Chain A
Amino acid sequence: MLHTIIQISLLAVSISMVGLIYRVIVGPTTPDRVVALDALGVNLIAIIALVSMVQHSKSFLEVILLIGILAFIGTVAFSKFLEKGAIIEHDRDH
């Protein structure tokens, strides 16, 4: 029973990722695409958790934290680029 529920939720998260990929492709502006890619990263965390439950293996659980950190850093860098035009500014003008 639990196995069936895990398979169903894997299917649901996959359908949701397809919808987010539609928004990444169509999205009229750049912040739309960034929002959709951030949500894709979060859904990828859910996929990894579900796959590690299917395989009864504890080896993938570090990857969850790693993808969380990388998705956050990517979103922060991209929003700073959109707002100021540079990710790391250089302001030594003296």
Chain B
Amino acid sequence: MTEIIRFLIGFFLIVGSFLTLVTAFGLIRLPDVYTRNHAASKSATLGVMCILLATFLFFFLEEGHFNSRLILGIIFIFITAPVAGHLISRAAYNSGVPLWEKSVRDDLKGKQKYEKKNM
């Protein structure tokens, strides 16, 4: 049983560190703000959740200590990180950051003019 939990801890650690590396590659390689935000907000959240789950299992196995703050931290990051990604992407669009020049379609393009006309 102990060995199985240890194997799970190692698995979650490897998955989490791989996902944080994916975050860094995405932020370096992708072309504009929106795609970079897409990479950062998803994979960083899942990676740190895996690492925190591994930490929780580690302390539960080694010391028999049920740490509720780690569970709370996992839930908090799961709730707040996508909200922060959404807010910063919206602020980028409304402050006029251009899309990638090869992107094909922008459904929000005439929105401000349309709202001003129909006020």
Judge whether B36 and A9 touch: CB under 8 Å: no
Q: How large is the interface on B (under 10, 10 to 19, 20 to 34, 35 or more residues)?
A: 35 or more
Known: A2-B9, A5-B14, A76-B84. A43 touches B44 (CB 8 A): yes
Known contacts A5-B14, A46-B16, A53-B58: A79-B88 contact under CB 8 Å: yes
A25–B48 CA distance with the chains assembled, in angstroms: 23
- Known A-B contacts A38-B84, A65-B73; the reply to A83 vs B67 at CB < 8 A is no
If A15-B21, A58-B63 touch, whether A31 touches B48 (CB-CB below 8 Å) is no
B108 at the interface (CB under 8 A from A): no
Q: Are A39 and B40 in contact, CB atoms less than 8 angstroms apart? A: yes
B59 touches A64 (CB 8 A): no
- B residues within 8 A CB of A80? 87, 91
What residues make up the interface of A, taking CB atoms closer than 8 Å to B?
Answer: 1-2, 5-6, 8-9, 12-13, 15-20, 22-23, 29-32, 34-36, 38-39, 42-43, 45-46, 49-50, 52-53, 56, 58, 61-62, 64-65, 68-69, 71-72, 75-76, 78-80, 82-83
